Structure 1
Amino acid sequence: MIIKLLVLLVLCFCNVSTADDNKKTYIVHMSKHQKPTTTFGEDVDHAHWFDASLKSVSKSAEMIYTYQNVIHGFSTKLTQEEAESLENLPGILAVLPELKYELHTTRTPEFLGLDQNTNLFPQSSGDSDVIIGILDTGVWPESKSFDDTGMGPIPSAWNGACETGTNFTTQSCNKKLIGARFFAKGYEATLGPIDESKESRSPRDDDGHGTHTSTTTGGSVVAGANLLGYAAGSARGMAPKARVAVYKVCWLGGCFSSDILAAMEKAITDNVNVLSLSLGGGTADYYRDSVAIGAFAAMEKGILVSCSAGNAGPTSYSLSNVSPWITTVGAGTLDRDFPASVSLGNGKNYSGVSLYRGPILPNQMLPFVYAGNASNSTSGALCMPGTLVPSLVKGKIVLCDRGVNARVQKGSVVKEAGGAGMVLTNTAANGEELVADAHLLPATTVGQKAGDEIRKYVISDANPTATIVFEGTKLGITPSPVVASFSSRGPNSITPEILKPDMLAPGVNILAGWTGAVGPTGLPDDSRRVGYNIISGTSMSCPHVSGLAALLKAAHPEWSPAVIKSALMTTAYTSYKDGKMIQDLATGNPSTPFDHGAGHVDPVSAVNPGLVYDISADDYFDFLCALNYTASQIQLVTKRNTTCDASKKYFVGNLNYPSFAVVVPSDSTVVKHTRTVTNVGPASSTYKVSTFSDNKSVQMSVVPETLTFSQVNEKKSYTVTFTMGRMAVNSNAFGRIEWSDGKHVVGSPVAVSW
Structure 2
Amino acid sequence: MPPVPVRWTGVCQGGERFNVSNCNRKLIGARFYSKGHRANYPTNPSEAVSLLEYVSPRDAHGHGTHTASTAAGAAVAGASVLGAGAGEARGVAPGAHVAAYKVCWFNGCYSSDILAGMDDAVRDGVDVLSLSLGGFPIPLFEDSIAIGSFRATARGVSVVCAAGNNGPARSSVANEAPWVLTVGAATLDRRFPAYVRLGNGRILYGESMFPGEIGLKKGGKELELVYAVGGTRESEYCLKGALDKAAVAGKMVVCDRGITGRADKGEAVKEAGGAAMILANTEVNRQEDSIDVHVLPATLVGYKEAVELKKYISSARRPVARIVFGGTRIGRARAPAVALFSARGPSLTNPSVLKPDVIAPGVNIIAAWPGNLGPSGLEGDARRSNFSVLSGTSMAAPHVSGIVALIRSAHPSWSPAMVRSAIMTSADITDRQGKAIMDGDGGRADVFAMGSGHVNPARAVDPGLVYDIQPGDYVTHLCTLGYTRMEIFKITHTGVNCSAVLQKNRGFSLNYPSIAVAFKNGAKSAVLRRTVTNVGTPNSAYTVQVAAPPGVKVSVAPTTLSFAEFGEQRSFRVTVEAPSPPAAKDSAEGYLVWKQSGGQGKHVVRSPIAVTWVVE
> Which residue number corresponds to residue 481 of structure 2?
627
Answer yes or no: is the 8 Å Cα contact 2:361–2:399 preserved in 1. yes
Aligned partner (choices 24, 31, 41) of residue 181 of structure 1: 31
> Which residue number corresponds to residue 287 of structure 2?
432
Q: Deviations over 1:211-252 (max 9, x none)?
A: 001111111111111101011111111110000000010011
> Which residue number corresponds to residue 554 of structure 1?
409
Answer yes or no: is the 8 Å Cα contact 1:371–1:383 preserved in 2. no
> Which residue number corresponds to residue 540 of structure 2?
685
Q: Deviations over 1:438-486 (max 9, x none)?
A: 0111110011011101110011111211100001100003310000001
Aligned pairs for 1:12-91 (under 5 A) are none
What secondary structure, in the 3-state scheme, does the structure 2 residue paired with 1:485 have? coil
> Which residue number corresponds to residue 392 of structure 1?
247
What secondary structure, in the 3-state scheme, does the structure 1 residue paired with 2:233 have? coil
**TM-fit CA distance, 1:579:** 4.6
> Which residue number corresponds to residue 182 of structure 2?
328
Correspondence 1:368 to 2:368: no
> Which residue number corresponds to residue 715 of structure 1?
569
Q: Distance in 2 between matches of 1:557 and 1:421?
A: 53
Compared CA separation, residues 367 and 221, structure 1 to 2 (3 A): closer
Correspondence 1:305 to 2:164: no
What secondary structure, in the 3-state scheme, does the structure 1 residue paired with 2:575 have? strand
What secondary structure, in the 3-state scheme, does the structure 2 residue paired with 1:542 have? helix
> Which residue number corresponds to residue 545 of structure 1?
400
Correspondence 1:316 to 2:175: no
**TM-fit CA distance, 1:190:** 2.6
What code does the residue aligned with 2:399 have?
H
Q: Distance in 1 between matches of 2:348 and 2:240?
A: 37
What secondary structure, in the 3-state scheme, does the structure 2 residue paired with 1:424 have? strand
Q: Distance in 2 between matches of 1:439 and 1:548?
A: 32
Answer yes or no: is the 8 Å Cα contact 1:497–1:652 preserved in 2. no
Aligned partner (choices 535, 554, 558) of residue 390 of structure 2: 535
Correspondence 1:171 to 2:21: yes
**TM-fit CA distance, 1:548:** 0.6
Answer yes or no: is the 8 Å Cα contact 1:512–1:533 preserved in 2. yes
Q: Distance in 1 between matches of 2:141 and 2:284?
A: 33
**TM-fit CA distance, 1:571:** 0.1
Q: Distance in 1 between matches of 2:221 and 2:106?
A: 42
State the identity as a percent.
48
> Which residue number corresponds to residue 591 of structure 1?
445
Answer yes or no: is the 8 Å Cα contact 1:376–1:387 preserved in 2. no
What code does the residue aligned with 1:630 have?
T
Answer yes or no: is the 8 Å Cα contact 2:425–2:463 preserved in 1. yes
Q: Distance in 1 between matches of 2:152 and 2:507?
A: 22
Q: Deviations over 1:79-121 (max 9, x none)?
A: xxxxxxxxxxxxxxxxxxxxxxxxxxxxxxxxxxxxxxxxxxx
**TM-fit CA distance, 1:730:** 5.4
| Structure 2 gaps, min length 5 | none
**TM-fit CA distance, 1:683:** 1.0
**TM-fit CA distance, 1:394:** 1.6
Answer yes or no: is the 8 Å Cα contact 1:277–1:307 preserved in 2. yes
**TM-fit CA distance, 1:577:** 5.5
**TM-fit CA distance, 1:729:** 7.3
Compared CA separation, residues 379 and 399, structure 1 to 2 (3 A): same
Compared CA separation, residues 592 and 197, structure 1 to 2 (3 A): closer
Q: Distance in 2 between matches of 1:526 and 1:376?
A: 29
What secondary structure, in the 3-state scheme, does the structure 2 residue paired with 1:654 have? coil
Q: Distance in 2 between matches of 1:732 and 1:175?
A: 49
What secondary structure, in the 3-state scheme, does the structure 1 residue paired with 2:24 have? coil
Q: Distance in 2 between matches of 1:459 and 1:606?
A: 53
**TM-fit CA distance, 1:367:** 3.7
Compared CA separation, residues 177 and 282, structure 1 to 2 (3 A): same
Compared CA separation, residues 328 and 363, structure 1 to 2 (3 A): closer
**TM-fit CA distance, 1:413:** 1.4
**TM-fit CA distance, 1:315:** 0.6
Number of aligned positions between the proteins: 601
Aligned partner (choices 105, 114, 117) of residue 251 of structure 1: 105
> Which residue number corresponds to residue 148 of structure 1?
none
> Which residue number corresponds to residue 423 of structure 2?
568
Query: What is the aligned-residue RMSD (CA, Å)?
Result: 1.9
Q: Which moved more, 1:569-578 or 1:522-531?
A: 569-578
> Which residue number corresponds to residue 155 of structure 1?
5
What code does the residue aligned with 1:160 have?
G
What code does the residue aligned with 1:368 have?
E
> Which residue number corresponds to residue 501 of structure 1?
356
Answer yes or no: is the 8 Å Cα contact 2:447–2:589 preserved in 1. yes
Correspondence 1:347 to 2:197: no
Q: Which moved more, 1:607-616 or 1:575-584?
A: 575-584
What secondary structure, in the 3-state scheme, does the structure 1 residue paired with 2:174 have? coil
What code does the residue aligned with 2:64 have?
G
Q: Distance in 1 between matches of 2:508 and 2:292?
A: 43
What secondary structure, in the 3-state scheme, does the structure 2 residue paired with 1:294 have? helix
Correspondence 1:415 to 2:270: yes
What secondary structure, in the 3-state scheme, does the structure 2 residue paired with 1:279 have? coil
What secondary structure, in the 3-state scheme, does the structure 2 residue paired with 1:409 have? helix
TM-score norm. by structure 2 comes to 0.94
What secondary structure, in the 3-state scheme, does the structure 2 residue paired with 1:310 have? coil
Correspondence 1:474 to 2:325: no
Q: Distance in 1 between matches of 2:121 and 2:604?
A: 35
Answer yes or no: is the 8 Å Cα contact 1:635–1:641 preserved in 2. yes
> Which residue number corresponds to residue 284 of structure 1?
138
Correspondence 1:748 to 2:602: no
Q: Distance in 2 between matches of 1:571 and 1:554?
A: 18
Answer yes or no: is the 8 Å Cα contact 1:358–1:441 preserved in 2. no
**TM-fit CA distance, 1:601:** 0.2
Q: Distance in 1 between matches of 2:179 and 2:584?
A: 29
Answer yes or no: is the 8 Å Cα contact 2:192–2:326 preserved in 1. yes
Q: Distance in 1 between matches of 2:174 and 2:337?
A: 21
**TM-fit CA distance, 1:427:** 0.9
Q: Deviations over 1:361-392 (max 9, x none)?
A: 996663433321x1262332111111111222
Answer yes or no: is the 8 Å Cα contact 2:134–2:164 preserved in 1. yes
Aligned partner (choices 216, 221, 227) of residue 70 of structure 2: 216
| Structure 1 gaps, min length 5 | 1-150
Answer yes or no: is the 8 Å Cα contact 1:626–1:652 preserved in 2. no
What code does the residue aligned with 1:627 have?
L
Aligned pairs for 1:95-134 (under 5 A) are none
What code does the residue aligned with 2:383 have?
R
> Which residue number corresponds to residue 521 of structure 2?
666
**TM-fit CA distance, 1:651:** 7.5
Compared CA separation, residues 527 and 501, structure 1 to 2 (3 A): same
Q: Distance in 1 between matches of 2:20 and 2:432?
A: 49
Q: Deviations over 1:649-706 (max 9, x none)?
A: 76897100000111123333221111110000001110000011352x1121111110
What secondary structure, in the 3-state scheme, does the structure 1 residue paired with 2:91 have? coil
Q: Distance in 1 between matches of 2:506 and 2:137?
A: 22
> Which residue number corresponds to residue 149 of structure 2?
295
Answer yes or no: is the 8 Å Cα contact 1:370–1:459 preserved in 2. no
Correspondence 1:487 to 2:345: no
**TM-fit CA distance, 1:645:** 4.2
Answer yes or no: is the 8 Å Cα contact 2:334–2:432 preserved in 1. no
Answer yes or no: is the 8 Å Cα contact 2:469–2:512 preserved in 1. yes
Answer yes or no: is the 8 Å Cα contact 2:33–2:103 preserved in 1. yes
